[in-house]
């Protein structure tokens, strides 16, 4: 849609080079202009209050072309320009697109800048090979349209890497957008509005991007992919948008050609972008989302992103073999419900704060998930038959992840990795690790593996919390074995003590006795079990993996445990 708007502006600009100072009124018939991007045709143009005479306007139209468009448009002064039908035709290789604008009205033009531009509607038909897509749009209204700046954006190439951007359009409103694609899919928007659109010419012409667009059923080769990625990255960095909002968004996916996937649909009540500049999005929100997919359906009250930057992913595609993901500062999902396999899942909220990104992952991350609720009855019992057997009819989980890499110290702090259910229990891990290479966050498998093997453990802590699951397990096991709960709990406590001693040492050791006593007390009824390890000289990850038993590392470790 961005290219459609830009081409609409450029088309009007090029076909109305005939305007105001002598306050002439006249008509132009059978106008045609050919540019590098498209050919524009109008059977009739009415000009009121033009500064240029009819003859001068015809001379400007005769010159046409990308090289003179901006200069010619800057000469336009007119009270009103009307075009009953404007046709734009684009061809690039096997791609062809025809756009027809109806009842175009341009008001109060001074030096090529119009107070307002309106069209009653427009239709689009795009063809590539045997595939055809069609679109129809309702009323269009824009204010503060700078036609010379639009011409430079769409028809020229950037003259320098730091060429400044110019505002092209102050406001935009477009109603009733409907686009249909060949496989039965499509897009619809009831209303689109925006403000403060700016841009600059691309390093390569926009027509080149059209030419490189993928062909149906023909995946692009690596070189073409790199070229497209470079141009899209440049396009993102060359366009600014103050705000863009959509109401009544609907997206349909068509059925796969081999019938492996059924059609689906997604709706959103409201979508908003704000602060799009230099390839980054200050904020993005989507509200009232409903999806009816081939297998599952879901509803989400709100999705929000801030500090979103897609450029790293495109930049990585330009380099052979590179991998990267879009970056963001904050992400949020609130009020979600999913109907999956007959077992509904609801989510209270998920938030993620990410900083100091490597290519694929952030090195500072705080994530929270609150109240992920799923049923354990009916079809959902397949998810956790053990918990269902203990009498739980649902899970209500909350989770957290908090980590940070100090690149200067090569130290990773795992402040929190936890999972809990207030009616079941919880587990929490934390620790401090040294000799941590940034390669651990690179997303490159061999680099990540080598970085993992180089890690040294300084401190680690484990907390287990019983909120009822262990008690229900003891009662169920006692009933199954014909014992009282007290007798069964005593047997399990003795087993826990033996296992703790076997894990930590093969010979008597007071530190192992502390762990064994705490493990036994937890089974006997304590609500929490805490285990902490400290290695003043550090213990290598390889040493831990090869030890088999922590007893061989007892001389390097400080161990403490308690149960309360």
Residue 430 lies in a domain: no
Rounded CA gap, 40 and 15, in Å? 7
Quick one: which of 244, 352, 349, 270 has its CA closest to 307? 352
Residue 427 lies in a domain: no
Q: Count the alpha carbons within 13 Å of 375 in the hemisphere toward its beta carbon.
A: 12
pLDDT at 397: 95
Residue 537 phi, psi (nearest 5): -100, 0
Q: Where a domain ends, among 175, 203, 219? A: 219
Which residues does the chain have with pLDDT short of 50?
1-5, 13, 16-22, 65-67
pLDDT at 209: 60
pLDDT at 379: 60
Query: Max Cα separation, the chain?
Result: 107
Tokens of 57: 């306007």
Check if the beta carbon of residue 363 is closer than 8 Å to that of residue 327: no
pLDDT at 299: 93
pLDDT at 506: 59
Angle of the 485-504 helix axis to the 510-524 helix axis, nearest 10:
150
Residue 59 lies in a domain: yes
- Spell out a b/e string for 355-369, using b for 16 or more CB atoms within 10 Å of the CB, else e: eebbbbbbbebbbbb
First CA to last CA across the chain, in angstroms? Answer: 62
Dihedral sign for Cα atoms in the order 531, 534, 540, 543? negative
pLDDT at 105: 97
Residue 234 lies in a domain: no
Element (H, E) at 152: helix 147-155
The domain of 169 spans 1-219
Residue 96 phi, psi (nearest 5): -140, 140
DSSP state letters, 329-347: SEEEEEEEEEEETTEEEEE
Tokens of 167: 């505002």
Residue 359 DSSP code: S
Residue 506 phi, psi (nearest 5): -105, 0
Give the residues across from 532 on adjacent strands.
461, 560
Rounded CA gap, 78 and 57, in Å? 12
Q: Where a domain ends, among 195, 219, 243? A: 219
pLDDT at 381: 53
Check if the beta carbon of residue 269 is closer than 8 Å to that of residue 276: no
Q: Where a domain ends, among 219, 249, 284? A: 219
Rounded CA gap, 188 and 433, in Å? 51
DSSP state letters, 427-487: EEEEEEEES--GGGGS--HHHHHHHHHT-EEEEEEEEEEESSHHHHHHHHHHHHTT--HHH
Residue 391 lies in a domain: no
Residue 504 lies in a domain: yes
Residue 393 lies in a domain: no
pLDDT at 22: 44
Residue 58 phi, psi (nearest 5): -65, -35
How does pLDDT run across 46-74, given as a tens digit for each residue?
Answer: 999 998 888 888 877 776 544 467 788 88
Strands (E), 200-311: 239-253, 264-277, 280-292, 297-309
- Provide the domain count of the chain: 2
Residue 205 DSSP code: -
Burial class of 337 by CB neighbour count within 10 A (0 to 12, 13 to 18, 19+):
middle
pLDDT at 21: 37
Element (H, E) at 21: strand 20-34
pLDDT at 32: 84
Rounded CA gap, 262 and 298, in Å? 16
Residue 294 lies in a domain: no
Rounded CA gap, 99 and 135, in Å? 9
């Amino acid at each position: 849609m961005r290219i459609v708007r830009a081409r609409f502006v450029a088309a009007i600009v090029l076909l109305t080079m005939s305007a105001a100072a002598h306050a002439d009124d006249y008509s132009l018939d059978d106008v045609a202009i050919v540019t590098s991007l498209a050919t524009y045709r109008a059977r009739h143009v009415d000009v009121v209050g033009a500064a240029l005479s009819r003859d001068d306007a015809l001379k400007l139209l005769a010159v046409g072309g990308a090289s003179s468009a901006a200069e010619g448009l800057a000469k336009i002064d007119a009270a009103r320009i009307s075009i009953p039908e404007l046709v734009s035709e684009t061809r690039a290789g096997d791609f062809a697109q025809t756009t027809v604008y109806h009842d175009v009205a341009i008001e109060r033009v001074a030096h090529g800048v119009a107070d307002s531009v309106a069209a009653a509607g427009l239709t689009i038909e795009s063809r590539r090979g045997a595939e055809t897509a069609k679109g129809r749009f309702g009323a269009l209204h824009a204010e503060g349209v700078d036609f010379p700046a639009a011409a430079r954006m769409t028809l020229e190439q950037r003259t320098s890497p730091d060429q400044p951007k110019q505002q092209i359009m102050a406001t935009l409103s477009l109603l009733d957008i409907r686009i249909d694609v060949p496989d039965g899919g499509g897009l619809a928007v009831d209303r689109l509005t925006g403000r403060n659109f700016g841009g600059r010419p691309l390093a390569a012409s926009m027509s080149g991007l059209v030419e490189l667009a993928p062909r149906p059923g023909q995946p692009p080769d690596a070189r073409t992919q790199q070229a497209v990625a470079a141009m899209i990255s440049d396009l993102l960095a060359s366009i600014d948008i103050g705000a863009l909002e959509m109401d009544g968004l609907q997206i349909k996916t068509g059925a796969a050609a081999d019938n492996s996937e059924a059609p689906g649909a997604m709706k959103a009540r409201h979508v908003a972008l704000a602060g799009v500049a230099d390839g980054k999005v200050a904020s993005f929100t989507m509200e009232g989302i409903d999806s009816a997919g081939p297998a599952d359906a879901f509803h989400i009250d709100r999705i929000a992103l801030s500090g979103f930057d897609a450029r790293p992913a495109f930049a990585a595609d330009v380099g052979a073999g590179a991998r990267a993901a879009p970056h963001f500062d904050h992400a949020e999902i609130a009020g979600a419900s999913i109907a999956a396999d007959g077992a509904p899942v609801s989510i209270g909220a998920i938030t993620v704060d990410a900083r100091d990104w490597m290519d694929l992952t952030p090195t500072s991350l705080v994530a929270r998930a609150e109240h992920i609720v799923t049923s354990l009855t009916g079809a959902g019992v397949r998810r956790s038959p053990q918990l269902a057997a203990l009498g739980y009819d649902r899970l209500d989980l909350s989770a957290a992840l908090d980590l940070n890499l100090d690149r200067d110290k090569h130290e990773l702090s795992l402040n929190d990795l936890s999972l809990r259910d207030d009616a079941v229990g919880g587990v929490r891990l934390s620790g401090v690790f040294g000799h941590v290479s940034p390669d651990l966050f690179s997303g490159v498998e061999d680099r990540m593996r080598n970085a993992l093997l180089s890690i040294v453990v300084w401190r680690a802590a484990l907390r287990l919390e019983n909120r009822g699951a262990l008690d229900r397990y003891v009662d169920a096991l006692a009933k199954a074995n014909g014992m009282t709960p007290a007798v069964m709990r005593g047997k399990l406590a003795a087993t826990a003590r033996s296992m703790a001693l076997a894990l930590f040492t093969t010979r008597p050791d007071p530190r192992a006795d502390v762990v064994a006593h705490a493990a036994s007390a937890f089974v006997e009824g304590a609500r929490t079990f805490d285990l902490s390890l400290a290695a003043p000289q550090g213990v290598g990850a390889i040493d831990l993996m090869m030890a088999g038993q922590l007893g061989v590392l007892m001389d390097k470790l400080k161990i403490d445990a308690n149960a309360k």
